[in-house]
Amino acid sequence: MCIRDSSSSVTLLTAAALGAAVGMSGGSIGITTAHELIHRKNKFMRGIGVLLLILCCYGHFRIEHIYGHHLNVATKEDPATARKGENFYFYFIRCVINSIRSSWSIEKNILERKNIATFSLQNRMIHYFVLEFLLLLIAYFVASINGLVFVIFHSFVSIILLELVNYIQHYGLERKKENGRYERFTDLHSWNSRHISANWSTFNLGLHAEHHQSASKPYPLLSQEEKAIVIEDFIQEHETLISYRGNDGEIDWESKNEINKKIRFFIEEKYPNVLSTRNIMWDSYETYLSPYDRYHFHTFIAGVKVKDISRMKYVNVRYHPDTQKVNSTYAWDEEVQDFIELD
């Protein structure tokens, strides 16, 4: 499909690509700037921050971030805190949907406390939706369908980059709840980075723990002191955990025979009804590291011959490079005549 005028021809694909390219700067610079400005005490500065968010069709972020995220960070009530083991794609969908719902609920409660109707001209959520709709109308008026595609892709990429940062900054961290109240936010509830070049380009966004402890403090005043958990330490510790890796990042297969021997020995010891192990296949690698827990292991699938069973059965086993030990969460079930995973 191609839209033409008297001087140029721009395809929808080109409009989408341009929008995505601009969205890279919108997410890395525009929304990062907006985040800094919506925390300022000056109303004019906050207004510029909101305008930058509206240009990315994400105006409600101002309400959810200030009144929601900073209150509920590192809890399950916070849409922008990634759960342990949650992949980014699921997190992104959950976060975007729940952040809109949360920001509407927050604004509704604010208006009710002032005895103002939810559907009124003082509802900021309505302001943001109307301005974003006008942005789309202007884009369509200026460049027809290409304008809409440009804005949509620009906004989508910008929002992805924003939520990717949120995903990293609090991933797997959770405040404990005691006597019905969450513990006070500390350095242990935010991943931090003191990398100079990264912080120069993101308004010290890596110094995130102190930002949550003093949200209105301008970014140049955030302390460069080392915090309890920093992302560089996470990366370094993560790399030292992986002991059976070659230069290409894969398993050093010179150790394959040794690992297979350990797996065969484990299966013979744990499952007396297994007559022999026919073949062993590498399946996956899993790792996790946080201030509270750390582990990593390789999963192998072993094809085994079971007594009185004609067909080959398969069982998953885990090999732990740090301890060089094998274990499994599977047990033989006589009723179903197969290996089942234990809860």
Local confidence pLDDT in tens for the 343 residues of the chain: 444 443 457 899 999 999 999 999 888 888 888 988 998 888 899 999 999 999 999 999 999 999 999 889 999 999 999 998 899 999 999 999 999 999 999 999 999 989 999 999 999 999 999 999 999 999 999 999 999 999 999 999 999 999 998 998 888 888 888 888 888 887 777 887 766 666 666 666 666 666 676 666 666 555 555 554 455 555 554 554 444 444 444 445 446 778 888 999 999 899 999 999 988 888 777 776 555 556 678 888 899 999 888 888 899 999 887 788 899 999 998 888 899 888 6
Do 339 and 313 meet the contact criterion of CB atoms below 8 Å apart? yes
Q: How many angstroms separate the CA atoms of 19 and 13, rounded?
A: 10
Q: How many angstroms separate the CA atoms of 18 and 83, rounded?
A: 33
Show Cβ contacts of residue 181 under 8 Å, excluding neighbours closer than 6 positions.
none
Do 53 and 34 meet the contact criterion of CB atoms below 8 Å apart? yes
Is-above-0.75 flag for pTM? no
